[in-house]
Amino acid sequence: MLKAQDDPGFLVDKIIAKVDNYIVLKSELEGTYQNYLAEGNPPSQEAKCGLLNRLIVNKLMVAKAEIDSVVVTDDQVDQNTARRMQLILQSSGNSPEELERAYGKTMDEIRLELRDQIREQMLGSEMTQLITKDISVTPSEVRRFFNKIPEDSLPFYSSDVEVAQIVRIAKVSEKQKEEVKQKLRDIRERILKGENFNELARQFSEDPSAQMNGGEMGFVGRGAMVPSFEANAFKLRKGEISQPFESPFGFHIMQLIDRRGNEYNSRHILIAAEPSEEDINRTEKFMDSLRLKIVTDSIDFQRAAKEYSDDQETKGQGGFFTDADGGTKISIKEIDPVVYFTIDTMKAGDVSRAIRYRTDDGKDAVRILYFKTKLPPHQASLKEDWHRIQAAALAEKKDNALEKWFNKAKKDVFINIDPEYNSCHLLE
């Protein structure tokens, strides 16, 4: 776990567990425990023992993955590492230089340490999937799981709702796109005349990380960036600045800083083309027309969602919002407040008029909502909460399979735990 030298939790490390060639450091356990406490959990030695057990199981999975020839590709690891490095820079608010000073390491050293952690996480995930991939639960197993729960221990659910949406992102006109491309051409000309690329990136780029890194992306491998970005990086000569090009994020100009084999370092300026009022009005009219077809039974809402919605998370479910387990009954505590306040004025079965809103990634869009039903607060039952109970039964079955696997697999590897943690009784 990466910890900065000026972090109050910084400590001199030591190995507290070893699983074949893989180690658990004291800083890993302490960092994981601090995250546990930060989530509002009370201090607990039992919890710390549980976290150490989880770390050891993860190392065991990685060790067994090596024995069983389970692999993740270097490209997959590199892509995940590049994304995580960007997140670290963005969330810390530091420049690469400040991050190096904070950790007492170069960016390459930080990246390599993080890469090892990510590789282990990915191998552990692959092993978990391999162990549990064929596990499922039958309806009779779900009923047995539910029936063995004492009545006074059944969970109590607050009001649930079933709500669906159809989303249309406002399409940007060619006129709006051309304005953005011209703005980028003007910026490019200023750079060619001697102005500093990084300063102009901080001034104009809409990439949130530009304020910290001046638009510089750091070395990344093939597949780490979207295709249009990567294509330009491998087409440019060192120091050359591209003409404006489009990606799913907007329009860019890019300068290739350096390239070594299949890796490259570049800097860019991103500006997204915004739809005009006319573009949004056109989308509203389309959605009003689609709503009319739905309420007059010319088309079913779920079919319309699959055919017309631009929201990838909900369209495959006929537009319905789903919980973490894929169920369509959502607690009102978990639903988007804007959606909740809209359906609060609707009757079950109603379809809202077209509503303007901004998507999570900041795009102008219009949506219509379908309020299917609302369930009152209730104690868990098979009839009303089948999907939740099925998910809990499946999770228990997978946990049992993993525990059985662990008890068998620990005999195949060397495991040593620091005597300081004998009270945890980890291998008993």
pLDDT of 360-392, one tens digit each?
Answer: 878 899 999 999 999 889 899 998 889 999 999
- CA diameter of the chain: 76
In eight-state DSSP terms, residue 418 is -
Note whether 61 and 128 are within 8 A (CB). Answer: yes
What pLDDT, on a 0 to 100 scale, did the predictor assign at position 113?
83
- What pLDDT, on a 0 to 100 scale, did the predictor assign at position 251? 95
Question: Which of 62, 53, 8 shows the shortest CA–CA distance to 29?
Answer: 53
Question: How sure is the predictor about 93, in pLDDT bands with cuts at 50, 70 and 90?
Answer: low
pLDDT of residue 366: 97
Q: Supply the pLDDT for residue 192.
A: 95
Q: Which domains does the chain have, with CATH numbers?
A: 15-136+395-424 (1.10.4030), 156-171+276-379 (3.10.50.40), 174-271 (3.10.50.40)
What is the spatial distance between Cα 198 and Cα 213, in angstroms, rounded to a whole number?
8
Q: How confident is the model at residue 12 (pLDDT cuts 50, 70, 90)?
A: low
pLDDT at 341 over 70: yes
pLDDT of amino acid 363: 87
Q: Which residues pair with 253 in a beta bridge?
A: 269
Strands (E), 318-411: 330-331, 355-358, 364-375, 378-379
How high is the pLDDT of residue 92?
A: 65
Question: What average pLDDT score do residues 267-291 get?
Answer: 94
In this prediction, residue 3 carries a pLDDT of 45
How would you write 165-219 as a 3-class SS string?
EEEEECCCCHHHHHHHHHHHHHHHHHHHCCCCHHHHHHHHCCCCCHHHHCCECCC
Task: Name the phi and psi angles at 423, rounded to 5.
Answer: -65, -15
Task: Kindly report the backbone phi and psi dihedral angles of residue 255, in degrees, each rounded to the nearest multiple of 5, phi listed first.
Answer: -115, 130
**CB-based burial of residue 67 (10 Å sphere; 0-12 exposed, 13-18 middle, 19+ buried)?**
exposed
> In angstroms, rounded to a whole number, what is the distance separating the alpha carbons of residues 280 and 289?
14
- Residue 232, classified by CB atoms within 10 Å of its CB into exposed (0-12), middle (13-18) or buried (19+), is buried
Specify the residue for token string 């662990």: 406
For 27-36, 156-165, 166-175, 313-322, which range has the lowest pLDDT when averaged over its residues?
Answer: 27-36
Tell me the C-alpha distance between 272 and 180, whole Å: 7
pTM: 0.64
**Residue 70, pLDDT score:** 86
* Per-residue pLDDT at 9: 45
276, 257 in Cβ contact below 8 A? no
CA angle 202, 204, 208 (to 5 degrees): 60
Instruction: Name the more confident of 74 and 318.
Output: 318
Distance CA 228, CA 239 (A): 19
Measured between alpha carbons, how far is residue 242 from residues 19, 167, 205, 250, 368 in Å? 50, 34, 15, 15, 40
Better-scored residue on pLDDT, 8 or 372: 372
pLDDT at 2: 45
> Which percentage of the chain shows pLDDT scores above 70?
96
Q: Is the pLDDT of residue 350 over 90?
A: yes
Give per-residue pLDDT as tens, 108-153: 888 888 888 888 889 888 999 999 999 999 999 999 999 999 988 8
Mean pLDDT of 48-63: 89
pLDDT at 178: 95
- Residue 182: what pLDDT? 96
The answer to whether the beta carbons of residues 377 and 159 sit under 8 Å apart is yes
**Res. 356: pLDDT tops 70:** yes
What's the rounded mean pLDDT across residues 262-280?
92
| Dihedral pair phi/psi, residue 16, rounded to 5° | -110, -10
- 252-269 core/surface letters (b: 16 or more CB in 10 A; e: else): bbbbbbebeeebbbbbbb
Least confident of 32-41, 165-174, 190-199: 32-41
Could you give the CA distance from residue 368 to residue 342 in angstroms, rounded to a whole number? Answer: 10
Least confident of 71-80, 84-93, 338-347: 84-93
Residues ≥6 apart with Cβ < 8 Å to 69: none
